[in-house]
Structure 1
Amino acid sequence: MTPVPRRLWLTSAALAALAPARLLAQKKSELPLPALGSAVPLAPAPLLLGGEFQPAQAEGKALVLYWWASWCPFCAQQSPEMQKLWESQQGKGLQMLALSIDKTPEPAVAYLRKKGYTFPAAWLSPELAKVYPKPEGLPVTVVRGKDGRVAQAEKGQLFPEDVAQLAKWI
């Protein structure tokens, strides 16, 4: 067995000691990305800026599911690109449901208003999380294809060209 270099061991031990217990517990409970080709069930979702997402809206259309948070720096980089995608593709058959994982809906609403985002966004309440469980990572982007199955699944920040490429699923 190869010994672990002392510096690596000390770094790992220090990081583990600094990690809050709730983050470690959260990691254990988070799900992997959904498998390509797996079915994506839908449910109605009240939207943060008014209205409601209805599953019928996504029938026969591509649906982008986007888990994000108002406090996430990577989401702050990706969200403007998601807004551009929404503005350019909503009339062409693309549907979107952004799911805020903020602890309460108020910060998410304030963030959407401050940034001027109009993409459909809901707060991931405990009830809604039963239908739309958040995969590990943040942000997370999953494309539900026209057939209702996962066509693409990504965790972590997508770059502008990657977000623009989501339109290929229309």
Structure 2
Amino acid sequence: MSKNIAYGLGILLVALMLYLGLITNSQQENVAGLSAGKKAPDFTLKTLDGKEVSLKDYRGKVVLLNFWATWCPPCREEMPLFVRMYEKYKDKGFEILAVSTDSSLEPVKKFVKEYRINFPVLYDDKNVVSLYGIQGLPTSFLIDRDGVILKVRLGEYKEIEKDLKEVL
């Protein structure tokens, strides 16, 4: 009897893992209707020092648009990689716009200093989060030189360098 229960629980666990995997994959490919091949919606946000930045200002560049927060462990994990990628590829037309979803600016400023972030960090009033249909953090959009979404990534973007080598 206990073998049957263990076998049944094993099947249930595998089914649950497959189901959750399908949900995660669909979110990576299609966050709020924004998927590869669609135009990235334009927006204007302010940097931490108050300068206005619009996505359209970056046409002609490959842009990583990253939604993150200081309290998010995977966000904290991927940020050093983004700093390295920006240093390595900025001269080839690569830009990063990091959109903070934190509720206040102070932890963001501290984070930027601590992690030596060398690209624009923008502060969102939640309008752009809604516009892009962000459902989890981190979420990244790799956008081509014409403003078209190439990749949508929910979770840590570990394969960023491979993707950059394909488009730069």
Give the corresponding residue for 2:22. none
Q: What is aligned with 1:118?
A: 118
Query: What letter matches 1:99 in structure 2?
Result: V
2: CA distance, partners of 1:129 / 1:138: 11
- CA deviations 1:92-112 (Å, max 9, x no partner) are 111211111111222111111
1:83 alignment counterpart: 83
Contact 1:53–1:97 under 8 Å retained in 2? no
3-state SS of 1:107 partner: helix
Question: Please, which runs of 5 or more residues in structure 2 have no aligned partner?
Answer: 1-7, 13-30
Is the 2:79–2:115 Cα contact (8 Å) retained in structure 1?
no
Instruction: Count how many residue pairs are aligned between Structure 1 and Structure 2.
Output: 143
| 1:98 aligned onto 2:98 | yes
Contact between 1:67 and 1:100, CA under 8 Å: does it hold in 2?
yes
User: Secondary structure of 1:142's match?
Assistant: strand
- Report 1:19-168 matches (<5 A): 32=32, 34-49=34-49, 51-129=51-129, 131=131, 133-159=132-158, 162-168=159-165
Residues of 2 paired with 1:121 and 1:148: CA distance? Answer: 19
In the TM superposition, what is the alpha-carbon distance from 1:52 to its structure 2 partner? 3.5
* Aligned CA distance change for structure 1 residues 135 and 107 (closer, same or farther; 3 Å): same
Per the TM alignment, residue 57 of structure 1 is displaced from its structure 2 partner at its CA by 3.1
C-alpha contact (below 8 Å) 2:42/2:56 kept by paired residues = no
Shift of 1:78: 0.3
**d(CA) in 2 for partners of 1:55, 1:120:** 11
TM-score (norm: length of structure 2): 0.73
Shift of 1:157: 1.1
* Distance apart, 1:56 and its partner CA: 4.2
Q: How many percent identity over aligned positions?
A: 24
Structure 2 counterpart of 1:22: none
Q: TM-score, normalised by structure 1?
A: 0.72
Change (3 A) 1:145 1:66: same
Could you list the runs of 5+ residues in structure 1 that have no partner in the other structure?
Answer: 9-30
Summarize the Cα distance change of 1:127–1:34 in structure 2 as closer, same or farther, 3 Å threshold: closer
